[in-house]
């Protein structure tokens, strides 16, 4: 039986393991943490990623999530700029990362072995296989080890790697009764968003411009419209992470018998909410290509499909982040007008 090693057991890594299992491979998943699982808060799962999960047999992720109350973009004082309905945007499923992780790993069968507490230090390959730390060997290695990927560093030591976006992010989960459909509020250099998870709780996030490595609290949002202060106060734990993405151009996603996936390949800012979904789509594409041809041809096809698609997302997300985090008052006024006009045009088009 063909063998594969997956480095990293986040959303992308475990999805890749399921996809490889379905291709008939014996899979070893290596995770540096002492236990298998996901930390963090909420995650948006767009229809394209839901479709991949369904193809892999993952159950429990709804195809649609429609808020019962209006959602959209607001100003810090609560005035609406434009609603999601006016913009004509699709609504993703909102789910806790740990819950999604559990749904995916529930599909682990006897072909998948998990080794936790395993720190990947070295990776080498030859014509016949890939070796990790001189003690594990497989026909294929999938690097899903995140934005600071050890495997990517071994393959492309000259690559610049992560790039600081200029802003930090706060995230939390609040178990509150709210009569609000959520959305985003944009201020000058700050953004706050929230949405109801499928379990009924609310996931929220806030971003603020500041130097990398600065520890801070989301106090800037205390004066913003309801229910923002209540969401922050109602959170048992608040996470803070500086936001990085990968330097462009992205490196090739395949080299020999090693393939990059998820943040290891194309880490992006969270402004489009597509990071984890892209990792899921990577896994689906990898499994699809491996199922029909030889390894070299499959990995070449995977790179040709996924690198251009995710490069566009990295660029778009970075551009949106710059617009969202601008502190220029003139630009802030202009962007509100553009969003309002865009919503009106979408509304008029929908009436035709």
Decide if pLDDT at 179 tops 90: no
Q: What is the mean pLDDT of residues 277-302?
A: 95
Mean pLDDT score across all residues of the chain: 91
Tokens representing residue 54 in the block: 């369904």
Quickly state the pLDDT bin for 86 (edges 50, 70, 90): low
- Checking if the pLDDT of 286 tops 90, the result is yes
* Segment 332-350 mean pLDDT: 61
pLDDT band (50, 70, 90) for residue 335: confident
pTM score, two decimals?
0.93
> What token pair was written down for 160?
């610049």
Q: What is the pLDDT of residue 89?
A: 62
What are the distances in angstroms from CA 109 to CA 22, 57, 117? Answer: 10, 12, 21
pLDDT at 181: 82
| Residue % of the chain over a pLDDT of 90 | 75
Please tell me the predicted confidence (pLDDT) of residue 316.
95
Is residue 209 over pLDDT 70? yes
Q: According to the model, what pLDDT value does residue 345 have? A: 41
**pLDDT at 15 exceeding the cut of 50:** yes
């Amino acid at each position: 039986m063909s063998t594969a090693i997956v480095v990293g057991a986040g959303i992308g890594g475990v999805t890749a393991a399921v996809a490889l299992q379905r291709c008939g491979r014996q899979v070893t998943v290596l995770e540096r943490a002492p236990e298998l699982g996901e930390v963090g808060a909420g995650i948006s799962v767009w229809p394209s990623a839901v479709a991949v999960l369904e193809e892999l047999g993952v159950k429990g992720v709804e195809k649609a999530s429609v808020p019962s109350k209006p959602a959209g973009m607001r100003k810090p004082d609560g005035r609406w700029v434009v609603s999601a309905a006016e913009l004509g945007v699709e609504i993703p499923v909102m789910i806790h990362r740990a819950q999604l992780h559990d749904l995916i790993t529930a599909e682990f069968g006897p072909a998948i072995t998990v080794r936790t507490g395993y720190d990947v230090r070295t990776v080498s390959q030859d014509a016949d296989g890939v070796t990790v730390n001189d003690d594990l060997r497989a026909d294929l290695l999938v690097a899903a080890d995140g934005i600071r990927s050890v495997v990517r560093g071994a393959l492309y030591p000259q690559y610049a790697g992560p790039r600081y976006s200029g802003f930090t992010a706060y995230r939390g989960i609040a178990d509150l009764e709210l009569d609000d459909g959520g959305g985003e509020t944009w201020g000058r250099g700050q953004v706050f968003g929230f949405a109801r998870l499928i379990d009924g709780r609310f996931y929220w996030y806030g971003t603020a411009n500041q130097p990398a490595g600065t520890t801070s609290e989301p106090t800037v949002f205390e004066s913003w419209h309801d229910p923002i202060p209540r969401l922050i106060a109602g959170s048992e734990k608040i996470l803070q992470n500086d936001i990085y993405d990968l330097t462009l151009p992205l490196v090739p996603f395949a080299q020999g018998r090693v393939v990059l996936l998820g943040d290891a390949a194309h880490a992006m800012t969270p402004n489009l909410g597509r990071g984890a979904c892209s990792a899921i789509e990577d896994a689906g594409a990898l499994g699809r290509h491996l199922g029909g041809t030889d390894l070299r041809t499959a990995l070449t096809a995977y790179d040709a499909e996924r690198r251009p698609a995710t490069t566009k997302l990295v660029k778009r997300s970075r551009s949106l982040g710059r617009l969202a985090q601008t502190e220029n008052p003139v630009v802030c006024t202009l962007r509100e007008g553009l969003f309002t006009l865009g919503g009106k045009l979408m509304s008029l088009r929908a009436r035709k």
